[in-house]
Structure 1
Amino acid sequence: MTTKRTRWKCPRESQLYYEIDDSKAFVIMTIENRVDVDAPLWDQSTFYGRFRHFAWMTNPLNTLASDAELMSAKQLVDQFRKGQEPPETTQKQLINAMKLYQSSFHPDTGELQNVCGRMCFQVPGGMTITGAMLQFYKTVPQIVFWQWFNQSFNALVNFTNRNAESPVSKTQLAFAYASATFSALGTAIGLKKGLEKLTPPVVQRFVPFVAVGAANCVNIPLMRQTELLQGVDLRDEDELKVCSSKFAAQKGITQVVISRNILMAPGMVLVPVIMQRLEKRPWFARMTFLHAPFQVLGVGTCLLLMVPIGCAVYPQNCAISVAELEQNDSDAFQELKKNYGARPLPQYLYFNKGL
């Protein structure tokens, strides 16, 4: 039995992509120039197109929108889907509603996301927490507090941006949170104790980076363990659910782990090196009140660029070839064959890997 879903748009060769052109911003929507509100504005088959999409969607200014503005944006998008939008609706109004909708509502469920878990909150949230971890790394109590705080934030982000078609119980969430927190603490404290007498001070500054990277490898898979145990739904180009695959879940979660570590690496590597050099200058060493704000702003500058880059490394609507599925997940392949019957099998299947 196959089920139909219309929320997520699978990429097609013939899909149209739109440029946000100020000269056309006030063009009223007509049958000829209607935008597909469920498809990205830019071609997601290229890195550049994905980068533009995520730079637009993860803009930290999106977090300033009130709940009333967000619900109004959702209402306009819903009305536009049905062809029932208010008369005189312009392209600018629709594009702005799409931006708020896609940055704040889950693509699977359509539910409003917690503001701190949205990817558009990664810059203000990430810069504050990461900057603090880089500044306060010298004592064990500082390490414990900020690693715990960071893993709490990461757990919220991971849960908010999961594949919502695979529900996770409260027990699983608690286990994932505790495991990631203890792995981060164990890595950070172990490296702190092991390196403080054996290496130059600049190397010790990279302890938060290693701890966060290790915790990401634990936190994300555990937070999404239901996908690994039960598989994720795969859909064909007609957006019909055709099978569930554990291999696809492994592929998607691996890509998310890599993307998250790419996202945070420059800020946690470059800023410590810069700080080490600046602290050798007498004027900067004396102005200790500037150290924490400098690191927070330095990380924020990196994140402004790296959040869309990290999200754009892999397409969010992940594709998996049927040949790859046959080779790595025989159960899913047999389910696919059963559902397709005598019809020829598709070349690719798709699923939302999350962010």
Structure 2
Amino acid sequence: MITLEYTIMSGGSFDIDAPRWDLTTFTGRLKHFFNITDFTTALLPDSRLDEAKALVESCRAGSVPPGTPEEQLHYAKKLYDSAFHPDTGDRMNIIGRMSFQVPGGMAITGCMLQFYRTVPAVVFWQWVNQSFNALVNYTNRNAASPITSNQIGVAYLTATTTALATAVGLNLYTKKAPPLVARWVPFAAVASANCVNIPMMRQQEILNGIAVTDENGNKLGHSKKAAVKGISQVVLSRITMAAPGMIILPIIMQRLEKYKFMQKITYLHGPLQVMLVGVFLVFMVPAACSLFPQNCSMAVSKLEPELRDSIRGRYGESVQHVYFNKGL
């Protein structure tokens, strides 16, 4: 640590892209995503984020400003990772950032869990949720695969329709079911919509393939199978992110509502659910993002025959795996 700090103080190089934790392990990824999904970073002004980006780019160019403490460099990288797209380097819209998942998700999910009894309320909050999800999915896509406005519109309408059909259909079907079953309808709608929203929003990757590289970042081609693998992992991560709050919280609320003091403060049930969902999401957002490495890998032998043969013809057996950004 002393040697590293001296190098930085002397204006030497600092590998700011070197991960602070081992991202090949779940624990390492969990620490990493706890760091970059910190919702307090979403409160910072754009000027502060741009300063962090400038510092990161200076470090990448091998020009660390003399006298810069190591911890300041790590914090700049945290802000950069939380707010700028890994493919383009552009600042992402605030609502679509993973650092906004806790405040945005807790408000919407809490309302979905509270207002589940009437069809109009179900329709409204499912629409709000799918609008939020569509923006998040678009923001965190693999930017190497562009998507048109028409495709975005189709993806949004398809996912919203799926969520509404699931929610309204189950809401009507569970009228005579135990109360707890009705409380789980929002999760069923969210899970089913995620299975549609994410693949539709990232359909270009499935249709045209996703860019794959070797371990040194050299581009090898495009793979549809890699796209399917990456998107499938993202779908599973998003469902996992929502599951604990939307499955466990209804059980908690059903038991709490039996107490007289809770029956006297029904107007606080909504805010209470919002806050409790926030508690779940503080842990589940980084945990779900950590399920799979963001820099995903795939064996060359499992690629499309054309791409596999192309890689084998150029590199022989020296390249055994390809790598790609699966998105979040």
TM beyond 0.5: yes
Matches within 5 A, 1:32-47: 34-47=13-26
Q: C-alpha separation between the residues in 1 aligned to 2:91 and 2:142?
A: 15
Comparing 40-49 with 308-317, which one deviates more in the overlay?
40-49
Would the aligned equivalents of 1:60 and 1:124 in 2 still touch at CA under 8 Å? Answer: yes
2:265 aligned residue: 287
**Structure 1 spans left out of the alignment, 5+ residues:** 1-20
Q: C-alpha separation between the residues in 1 aligned to 2:111 and 2:234?
A: 24
2:180 aligned residue: 202
SS of 1:233's equivalent in the other structure is: strand
Comparing 84-93 with 128-137, which one deviates more in the overlay?
84-93
Match of 2:78 among 99, 109, 115: 99
Match of 1:335 among 270, 288, 310: 310
How far 1:282 sits from its partner (Å)? 1.1
2:149 aligned residue: 170
* TM-score with structure 1 setting the length: 0.89
Q: C-alpha separation between the residues in 2 aligned to 1:268 and 1:203?
A: 12
Would the aligned equivalents of 1:28 and 1:89 in 2 still touch at CA under 8 Å? Answer: no
How far 1:38 sits from its partner (Å)? 2.4
Would the aligned equivalents of 2:183 and 2:250 in 1 still touch at CA under 8 Å? Answer: yes
Q: C-alpha separation between the residues in 1 aligned to 2:51 and 2:188?
A: 42
2:240 aligned residue: 262
2:322 aligned residue: 349
1:224 aligned residue: 202
More helix by share: 2
1:10 aligned residue: none
The amino acid across from 2:141 in the alignment is R
How far 1:40 sits from its partner (Å)? 2.4
How far 1:152 sits from its partner (Å)? 0.3
How far 1:90 sits from its partner (Å)? 1.1
1:58 aligned residue: 37
CA deviation map 1:42-61 (0-9, x unaligned): 11110000000000010101
The amino acid across from 1:102 in the alignment is D
How far 1:205 sits from its partner (Å)? 0.2
SS of 2:8's equivalent in the other structure is: coil
1:4 aligned residue: none
Would the alpha carbon gap of residues 34 and 196 (structure 1) be closer, same or farther in structure 2, given more than 3 Å must change? Answer: farther
Match of 2:119 among 135, 140, 147: 140
The root-mean-square deviation of aligned C-alpha atoms, in Å, is 1.8
Q: C-alpha separation between the residues in 2 aligned to 1:254 and 1:129?
A: 24
Q: C-alpha separation between the residues in 1 aligned to 2:16 and 2:145?
A: 25
Would the aligned equivalents of 1:27 and 1:90 in 2 still touch at CA under 8 Å? Answer: no
Number of aligned residues: 328
Question: Is residue 2:184 matched to residue 1:189?
Answer: no
Q: C-alpha separation between the residues in 1 aligned to 2:226 and 2:168?
A: 35
Would the alpha carbon gap of residues 28 and 116 (structure 1) be closer, same or farther in structure 2, given more than 3 Å must change? Answer: farther
Q: C-alpha separation between the residues in 2 aligned to 1:330 and 1:188?
A: 41
**Structure 2 spans left out of the alignment, 5+ residues:** none
The amino acid across from 2:311 in the alignment is L
How far 1:202 sits from its partner (Å)? 1.0
Comparing 33-42 with 117-126, which one deviates more in the overlay?
33-42
* TM-score with structure 2 setting the length: 0.96
2:225 aligned residue: 247
Would the aligned equivalents of 2:186 and 2:246 in 1 still touch at CA under 8 Å? Answer: yes
How far 1:25 sits from its partner (Å)? 10
Would the aligned equivalents of 2:141 and 2:202 in 1 still touch at CA under 8 Å? Answer: yes
Q: C-alpha separation between the residues in 1 aligned to 2:24 and 2:100?
A: 25
Q: C-alpha separation between the residues in 1 aligned to 2:95 and 2:3?
A: 34
